[in-house]
Amino acid sequence: MRFGFHISISEGFSKVIEQAEIRGCETIQLFSRNPRGWGSHPLNEKEIGLFQSGVKEKNLYPVFLHLPYLPNIASLQSKFYHRSIQSIIMDLERAEVLGAQYLIIHIGHRLESSEEEAIEAVSRGLNRAFEKVKNRIILLLENTAGQGTEIGYHFSQIKAILDRLEEKERVGVCLDTAHAFEAGYDLSHREGIERTLESFNQHIGLNRLHLIHLNDSKTPLGSRKDRHWHIGEGYIGLEGFRILINHPLLKHLPGIMETPRKDTEEDLRNMKVIRSLVT
């Protein structure tokens, strides 16, 4: 498994490589713009050139772009539904410019909609985005913890979305370990992990799994509360991560950590812990 972190772009794309190298990353995830806003600045050609050459020089792959937090295509009733589709279109295009291979999106909140209506809204929004952008970027649906009115916390919901897509080959899944645990999939021991992978394969297919978000959970199994924690220090624990990263069905995948970060030292500690579990 190739390990990495979500890297901040606050100092510019050219500084992402430096931050990745300090942390010992083999793969990276980043935003292409402000994650808590709708707007964006044009991508700077010089910055992007430095970023791309750095990615190649440091052998960082795959590169994952993450959609900002505000877009929500899970409710047709949302006044931001169409704006959210445009946001996906924008980042599909920006991913290609940056040289990323994947774009990760949160499936969203259904708000006052039913589950069925939300699934239809998501699939409709993705179909529209794919009509507008024809490129090779693979869009990854990230499973959720099921907090509030989130959908996508059960594998059957993700399957229902995939079944309605017109260009299924352009979509895969990012499995977040904290979200899965908080949604009720027990990843703290071998039996629970095997059951989870069997369920994932039955509903979605392991061939659609392109990335693991390696995050421990600060809240108990089935809490439906989205709280990431440091590797081995939460309810999944060291044994759960040892089994996950060495599992024959998963060890070929990249693993990105989104663990809490106050400073670089916390990232270095998490990287040291996850690498110590490789057998």
Query: What's the predicted TM-score (pTM) here?
Result: 0.97
106 is catalytic: yes
Within 13 A of 244's CA, how many CA atoms are on the CB side? Answer: 34
* Inter-residue contact 72 to 81 (CB < 8 Å): yes
6 is catalytic: no
Q: Is domain 2-276 classified as CATH 3.20.20.150?
A: yes
210 is catalytic: no
pLDDT in tens, 45-79: 999 999 999 999 999 999 999 999 999 999 999 99
Candidate list 6, 23, 33, 66, residue with the active-site label: 66
pLDDT in tens, 192-231: 999 999 999 999 999 999 999 999 999 999 999 999 999 9
Domain ranges, ordered by start, for the chain: 2-276
69 is catalytic: yes
Sign of the CA dihedral running 237, 241, 242, 243: positive
Q: Determine the pLDDT at residue 39.
A: 85
Candidate list 23, 94, 106, 208, residue with the active-site label: 106
Candidate list 11, 18, 69, 166, residue with the active-site label: 69
Burial 241-276 (b: 16+ CB within 10 A, else e): bbbbbebeebeebbbbbbbebeeeeebeebbebbee
Candidate list 6, 216, 228, 267, residue with the active-site label: 228
Sign of the CA dihedral running 264, 270, 276, 279: negative
pLDDT in tens, 138-148: 999 999 999 99
Q: Does 182 have pLDDT greater than 90?
A: yes
* Inter-residue contact 220 to 181 (CB < 8 Å): no
228 is catalytic: yes
The whole-number average pLDDT for the span 175-180 is 98
Candidate list 33, 208, 210, 213, residue with the active-site label: 213
Structure tokens at 87: 């946001």
Candidate list 179, 185, 208, 267, residue with the active-site label: 179
142 is catalytic: yes
179 is catalytic: yes
